Amino acid sequence: MFRLEILDAAQADLDQIFSDIAGQSGSFDIAYRFADSILSHCEDLANSKFLLGVERAELGPGIRMLPHRRYVIIFRYQGTALQIIRVLEGHRDIDTLFGRDD
């Protein structure tokens, strides 16, 4: 089991997701429930006895990804922590966002 760390960029992503869903749905309740579902998924990752996610070493050392609905949770295991790096919509060009455009 790992200690969950949500890095600043991931927190900004979550704030934006919340804002977008609240704006689109007109409901803070819906936005809170969805944001909570993402955080719950992150907690499940941290509490797992297994290393989960698809390795994406080409994006950086130890980078892994796991889908959550139409989003992708990008994370790494760092010592005793599971660091959430980004939470992005699955259609985004993740390689470019991580500085890989080849």
Whole-number pLDDT of residue 64: 96
Question: Does a structural domain hold residue 34?
Answer: yes
Whole-number pLDDT of residue 78: 95
Question: Does a structural domain hold residue 65?
Answer: yes
Question: Does a structural domain hold residue 102?
Answer: no
Determine the straight-line distance between the first and last CA of the chain, rounded to whole angstroms.
Answer: 36
Whole-number pLDDT of residue 13: 96
Whole-number pLDDT of residue 99: 59
**pTM, two decimal places:** 0.87
Q: Which range marks the domain in which residue 58 is found?
A: 3-97
CB hemisphere CA count around 47 (13 angstroms): 6
| Distance of alpha carbon 26 from alpha carbon 94, whole angstroms | 29
Length of the chain measured in residues: 102
Domain total of the chain: 1
Type of residue found at 72 = V
Q: What is the CATH number of the domain that holds 20?
A: 3.30.2310.20
Give every residue of the chain whose pLDDT is below 50, as ranges: none
DSSP three-state, residue 23: helix
